[in-house]
């Protein structure tokens, strides 16, 4: 099984099991390289895989930090997309760090 197939299945299951992130006063955002660059053969031909993940954490210094979510990529667009998936109460409560 391809890594991308397993990853999509993991994300789908995690979204079912994990609760919605609680609003946080300080939202920490960081990107992490998940692995080295790879080329994947798909029906349309060879494509370059994107090994980056963006993580979102509770960065409020008065509370224990914890992971709120992950999204593939490392662009402003992936951050905007992840924030758009959160509850309306989550978005205005957070400031970015």
Q: What is the pLDDT of residue 97?
A: 46
Distances in Å between the alpha carbon of 89 and those of 24, 41, 64, 84?
A: 10, 41, 20, 11
Q: What is the pLDDT of residue 96?
A: 56
Q: Where are the chain's structural domains? A: 21-85
Interval 41-73: pLDDT, tens: 888 889 877 778 899 999 999 988 888 988 888
Residue 12 in tokens: 């789908």
Q: Confidence class of residue 95 from pLDDT cuts 50, 70 and 90?
A: low
For residues 51 and 79, the model is more confident at 79
């Amino acid at each position: 099984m391809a890594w991308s197939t397993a990853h999509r299945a993991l994300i789908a299951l995690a979204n079912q099991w994990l609760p919605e992130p609680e609003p946080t006063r300080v939202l920490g955002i960081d990107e992490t390289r998940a692995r080295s660059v790879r080329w994947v053969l798909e029906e349309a031909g060879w494509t370059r895989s994107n090994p980056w993940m963006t993580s979102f954490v509770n960065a409020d210094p008065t509370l224990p930090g914890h992971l709120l979510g992950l999204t593939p990529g490392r662009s402003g667009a992936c951050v905007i997309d992840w924030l758009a998936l959160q509850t309306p109460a989550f978005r205005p409560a957070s400031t970015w760090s």
